[in-house]
Homo-oligomer: A and B are copies of this chain.
C-alpha cells in the first residue's frame, strides 16, 4: 500500500476560464483512489490532461451550485457512462444538486448504469467516513449555500517492535497480528496491550478545502492545524471591497485564516481572471507578509503531503 497523499490542481481560476487558469476543480489522491473537489466546466478533459483515471474518482465534493463549480458534472457523468463505468460514484453537495443532475439527465436523455448516489448536506456541521478519510463539512460565508470540506486522514498504527515482542515471549502468528490491529491479548496469563509492542500511532494528514467564502470562523476551525489549506483568494488587497461585496476573500485574508488556524501551508486558490502574473506575484507577496508558507495554486501542479513525524 502506497502511503502517498497528493493534491492535483485541475483548475484554479474563478468564474471565468482563462488561458492560464481553468475553472475550479482539484483532486485529492491517496492509495490510487481519488476524491474530486468541485467540477467546473472542462474538468473531464483536465483529468485526462493530468494523466488521472476518472474511474478511480469515487467521490465528488461540490462546494456550492454556482456554475463555475458544477458545469463540468453533467459531462463527467455522461462520459463515465459511455466509458462503461461500473463502480459507484457519490456526490456530496448543497440542496439542489439532485435536481440539477435530474434535469440535465432528462433533457439530454442520458442513462446511468453505474450507481450514482447524491448526498445533499445539511447546514449543520457533518462528519462521515470516506475511504481513509474522516470528512468534516462546514458552512462558509458565500452568496449561496457553500460548504468547506476537511479531509482528515486516520492515524496509521505505529510500527510493531519485534524485539519487544520477543522479550514478552509472543511468538509470530495470530497473537502478534491481534496486537498489530490494536487488540489486547493474554500471554501466560499476563495482559499485553498493543501499545506495549507498537510505536505510537503516526498522525494522519489533513487538508482543508474552503472555496468561495468571505473570511469566516468556520474556515479557521475547519483548517485547524491542517497540513494544507486551499482557500478562496479571488481578489488582491486593493479590491477588498469587491471581495466583501461578492462574498469572497483577498489573498491577505486567506493568509490570516491560515495563520489563525495554524495551518502548515496555504494554497491561494480561485484567483480572479482580472489579474495577470505580475498581479498574482503581488497577491502572493501580500499573503506571505501575513503567512510565509503561502503559495499560488497553478493548474496541473501537484503537491505531495508528507506524513507528520511522531513527536
Interfacial residues, chain A to chain B (CB-CB below 8 A): 15-19, 22-23, 41-42, 44-45, 48-49, 65-68, 70-72, 74-75, 78-79, 82-83, 96, 99-100, 103-104, 107-110, 143-144
Contacts and interface: CB of A to CB of B under 8 A. Distances in A.
22 contacts: A17-B48, A18-B48, A19-B49, A23-B75, A41-B41, A41-B71, A42-B42, A66-B108, A66-B109, A67-B78, A67-B104, A67-B108, A67-B110, A68-B78, A71-B71, A71-B78, A71-B108, A96-B107, A103-B103, A103-B104, A103-B107, A104-B104
Contacts of A65: 107-109
B82 A74 contact: no
Contacts of A107: 65, 96, 99-100, 103
Nearest to A83: B16
Contacts of A79: 15-17
Contacts of A49: 19
Given A18-B48, A71-B104, A103-B104, 10 more contacts: A15-B79, A16-B82, A17-B48, A42-B45, A67-B75, A67-B104, A71-B78, A71-B108, A99-B103, A100-B103
B72 A45 contact: no
Contacts of A82: 15-16
Contact of A44 (B17, B99, B144): B17
A206 B77 CA distance: 37
A161 to B, nearest CB: 50
A19 B48 CA distance: 7
A74 B104 CA distance: 11
Contacts of A110: 66-67
A168 B41 CA distance: 64
A201 to B, nearest CB: 43
A65 to B, nearest CB: 5
Nearest to A71: B75
A187 B295 CA distance: 80
A17 B41 contact: no
B22 A45 contact: yes
Contacts of A68: 75, 78
Contacts of A99: 103, 107
Nearest to A79: B16
**Top 4 A-B pairs ranked by shortest CB distance?**
A103-B103, A41-B75, A67-B108, A100-B107
A301 to B, nearest CB: 19
Nearest to A72: B41
